[in-house]
Structure 1
Amino acid sequence: MPKTKFQEVIYGLLMTFFMVAAMELYNTGLRMRGLTNAGILYAFREMVIIYPICFVTGFFFIERIAPKIAFRLVTPGEDKPIFVTLARASVTVAFMCPIMSFWATVIFKHPGVEFIPVWLQTFVCNFPMAFFWQIFFCGPLVRFIFRMIFERKSRTEVCTAE
Structure 2
Amino acid sequence: MSFKATRAIIGAVSLMITAPLLVTHAHAIVPTSAAAVNTDEANLALRGYDPVAYFSAGKPSMGDARFSAKFNGATYHFASAANLKMFKATPAAYAPQYGGFCAMGVALEKKLDGDPMVWKIVDKKLYLNVNEDVAVAWNRDIPGNLVKAEENWPEIKNKTPESL
Instruction: Please indicate the TM-score interval, normalised by the length of the shorter structure.
Output: under 0.3
Which structure has more helix as a fraction of its residues?
A: 1
What is the TM-score of this pair, normalised by structure 1? Answer: 0.28
Which structure has more strand as a fraction of its residues?
A: 2
What is the TM-score of this pair, normalised by structure 2? Answer: 0.27
Larger C-alpha radius of gyration, 1 or 2? 1
